[in-house]
Amino acid sequence: MKSSNSRPPRAATNPFVHELKLTIPQTIKIALMTVTVFPVRLLLVASLMLLAWPFAFVASLRRSDFVMEPPSWWMSAIDLCLRVIMRAMWFCGGFHWIKVKGERAPPADVPILAVAPHSSYFDAIPVTMTMCSIVGKLESRSIPVWGTLISYIRPVFVCRSDQDSRRKTVEEIKRRARSGGEWPQIMIFPEGTCTNRSGIILFKPGAFIPGLPVQPVVLRYPNTLDTISWTWRGPGAFKLLWLTLCQTHNPMEIEYLPVYTPSNEERENPALFANNVRKLMARALQLPLTDLSFDDREISLSQGPLRALDCGGLLAFHRLVCRLRLRAGSAGDALEELARRARKLQGDGLSAEDLAQFLDLPLTDALAQVHGLFAQRGDGLMDVRLYVVALSTVRRPSESMETLKLAFEMFENEETGDVLQRDLAAIFEIMLGVKKVELSSLFSALKGPRRAAITYDELSRFIENHPSFVEDHLVVENHPRHRAESCNGRHKDD
C-alpha cells in the first residue's frame, strides 16, 4: 500500500496510553496516605455526593427534556446549593484551589463551550462549577446517584443503539444553541474520548455544525505525578481515584480563551471550523496536534503477533473507509463475502472505475484515493485482494491472525493450499503498514531458502512458536525498529 500525503506524522507518545510509574518516595507517600488521609477523603466525597442527590432529584421531578421552564427563586436556590456542595466535594478530594483564567461568555452570546483536552472524569469539575449542559451517553442516566446529578444539568443524551442517534444529537445541539440563551450553555469535549494530554487529537464536528460562535476552554493539571489521566490503556478508574485522593493537593487550571467567531467559510465547513479551533487551543496549551481520532484508537492500540509496526498508511486508509461509509459493512460475514468475490478475480488488476463497480459505489475523490493507495503496478491497476486485507486489518486490528487467514483464503493455490513468497510479502506489507518486507530469513528458518510457498497452518504454527516472529524473521525496510510508538504524530507545520 502506498503512503498517503494525508498520513499522520510521528510523535513521541500514543495519546491513548497512560503509563504511571511511581518512584520509591512516591510509593512510600501513597502507602502512608492510604492508611491515614484516603479513608477520610473517600468518606467525605461520598457523603457530599449523597447530600447533593436529593437536591438534584427534587429539581428533576416532572421536568421536560425539551422545554425550558421559566426561572424561579427555588430553582436558583437549588442550583446554588448544588454548586456549593459539589465544590466542597472536590475540595475534600484534594482540589483545594482551582485557578480560573479568563471570563466565561454569557449563554446568550456564546451557547457552546468547547473544552480540551479531555483526559479524565475529573474534567467534570468545570461542569459542576458552571452547571452547563453536556453531551453524554444515555446509559449514564441510570448510574445510581451520579445519574441523577447528570440529569439535573439537562444533558444532550446520545443513544448508541439508535442508528439515527448522531443526527438527533446534532439537531438537539442546534436547537438549544439557537435558543438565544434560553437553555444553559452546552459544554462539549470535541475530542470525544479521553487521552493522556500529550497532544490534541482530532475534534468531532458536533459542536461546530451550528456555525455559531464558540468559546474554547482549556484544562490543565500541572501535577508532578499524573494520577488524573484515564484513557484506553493504563490504570483503571478506581486506581486513579485512590491515587488522586492520596495526593496532598491536586492542582487544576481552567482557562477561558477569547470567543471564536467562525468565518463564512467555516460556517459552511464544520470540519474546517473545528480544526481551526483545535489549532488555537493547542497553541494555548503548548501541545502538538495529533492526527488521530476516537475512531483510530483501536488501530493505534492494536496488539498481537502481527500488529502494525507503522500505522500511518493504515490510518490514512481507515479515514477514507470512514468517509466512504464502508466500515459499518466490513464485519465478519461481510468481509468473508468480499474476500470470496476478490478471490474469483485471481489477482486481475482493477482500475478506479472497476473498483467502484466492485464495491457498488460511485467514483468519488475518496474512492480514487483508495485506489491510489493500492495501485502499485506500472499500469496503474490494483489487486483488490490487498484492499480486503487492509480493510480487515483496520476493522479488527487486534485479530491479526484472522486477517492472515482471510488473506490466505484469497491468495492460496486451490490444489496445494499454499501462498507464494511474493504474495505473502505483499500481505505482510499491508498488515504491518510498511513499505517492503523481505522473507528469505523466514523461509530459511522453515525448510531452506529455495522454498517458494507456505500454507497457513505451517505459518501459524511457526508464529505461535516464535513470539518475536516479526523482529527475528522478517526484514522490514524503513522500519523504526526501536521506536516505541510509531503510530501517532504531530503535523510538521504545527
Residue linked to cell 490494483 = 382
* Average pLDDT over all residues of the chain: 87
Cβ-contact 383, 339 below 8 angstroms = no
Peptide linkage before 480 cis (omega within 30 of 0): no
User: Hey, what's the cell of 481?
Assistant: 525498529
**Same domain for 411 and 270?**
no
**Same domain for 363 and 260?**
no
Tell whether 494 is covered by a domain. Answer: no
Looking at residue 231, its amino acid is: T
Residue-number span of the structural domain to which 333 is assigned: 297-477
Helix/strand/coil (H, E, C) string of the chain? Answer: CCCCCCCCCCCCCCCCECCCCCCHHHHHHHHHHHHCHHHHHHHHHHHHHHHHHHHHHHHHCCCCCCCCCCCCHHHHHHHHHHHHHHHHHHHHCCCCCEEEECCCCCCCCCCEEEEECCCCHHHHHHHHHHCCEEEEEHHHHHCCCHHHHHHHCCCEEECCCCCCHHHHHHHHHHHHHCCCCCCCCEEECCCCCCCCCCCECCCCHHHCCCCCCEEEEEEECCCCCCCCCCCCECCCHHHHHHHHHCCCCCCEEEEECCCECCCHHHHHCHHHHHHHHHHHHHHHHCCCEECCCHHHHHHHCCCCCCCCCCCHHHHHHHHHHHHCCCHHHCCCHHHHHHHHHHHHCCCCEECHHHHHHHHCCCCCHHHHHHHHHHCCCCCCCEEHHHHHHHHHHHHCCCCHHHHHHHHHHHHCCCCCCEEEHHHHHHHHHHHHCCCEEECHHHHHHHHCCCCCEEEHHHHHHHHHHCCCHHHHHCEEECCCCCCCCCCCCECCCC
> What is the average pLDDT across 404-432?
91
Tell whether 147 is covered by a domain. Answer: yes
Of the ranges 10-14, 139-143, 305-309, 389-393, which one carries the lowest mean pLDDT score?
10-14
> What is the average pLDDT across 181-210?
92
Looking at residue 327, its amino acid is: R
pLDDT bin (cut points 50, 70, 90) of residue 324 is confident
- Burial class (CB within 10 angstroms; exposed 0-12, middle 13-18, buried 19+) of 90: buried
Tell whether 5 is covered by a domain. Answer: no
**Same domain for 39 and 182?**
yes
**Same domain for 328 and 243?**
no
Ranked by mean pLDDT, which of 28-37, 307-316, 357-366 comes out on top?
28-37
Neighbouring residues of 160: CB distance < 8 A, sequence distance ≥ 6 = 137, 138
**Same domain for 154 and 58?**
yes
Of the residues 230, 259, 291, the one at which a domain ends: 291
Give φ, ψ of 128 to 5 degrees.
-70, -25
Of the ranges 266-275, 309-318, 402-411, which one carries the lowest mean pLDDT score?
309-318
Tell whether 2 is covered by a domain. Answer: no
Q: Tell me: pLDDT of 2 over 60.
A: no
- Percent above pLDDT 90 for the chain: 54
The reported pLDDT for the residue numbered 6 is 42
pLDDT bin (cut points 50, 70, 90) of residue 488 is very low
In whole angstroms, give the CA distance from residue 5 to residue 7: 5
The reported pLDDT for the residue numbered 313 is 85
Tell whether 232 is covered by a domain. Answer: yes
Of the ranges 25-34, 223-232, 260-269, 458-467, which one carries the lowest mean pLDDT score?
458-467
Choice between 347 and 82, residue whose per-residue pLDDT is larger: 82
Of the residues 258, 291, 324, the one at which a domain ends: 291
> What is the average pLDDT across 191-211?
93
Tell whether 380 is covered by a domain. Answer: yes
The reported pLDDT for the residue numbered 481 is 41
The reported pLDDT for the residue numbered 388 is 93
Tell whether 348 is covered by a domain. Answer: yes
**Same domain for 36 and 151?**
yes
The reported pLDDT for the residue numbered 329 is 46
**Same domain for 215 and 322?**
no
**Same domain for 107 and 31?**
yes
Ranked by mean pLDDT, which of 142-156, 169-183, 252-266, 339-353 comes out on top?
252-266
Neighbouring residues of 164: CB distance < 8 A, sequence distance ≥ 6 = none
Q: What global pTM score does this model have?
A: 0.82
Tell whether 6 is covered by a domain. Answer: no
Q: Tell me: pLDDT of 206 over 80.
A: yes
The reported pLDDT for the residue numbered 51 is 96
> What is the average pLDDT across 299-322?
86
- Pick the closest to residue 288 from 195, 196, 190, 199 (CA basis): 199
pLDDT bin (cut points 50, 70, 90) of residue 168 is confident
The reported pLDDT for the residue numbered 220 is 97
pLDDT digits (tens, 9 = 90+) for 81-91: 999 999 999 99
**Same domain for 284 and 301?**
no
Q: Tell me: pLDDT of 482 over 60.
A: no
Choice between 10 and 168, residue whose per-residue pLDDT is larger: 168
**Same domain for 343 and 451?**
yes
Of the ranges 173-182, 397-406, 470-479, which one carries the lowest mean pLDDT score?
470-479
Cβ-contact 460, 469 below 8 angstroms = no
Q: Tell me: pLDDT of 38 over 80.
A: yes
The reported pLDDT for the residue numbered 303 is 82
- Percent above pLDDT 70 for the chain: 91
Q: Tell me: pLDDT of 490 over 60.
A: no
**Same domain for 176 and 236?**
yes
Q: How many domains does the chain have?
A: 2
pLDDT bin (cut points 50, 70, 90) of residue 479 is low
**Same domain for 336 and 441?**
yes
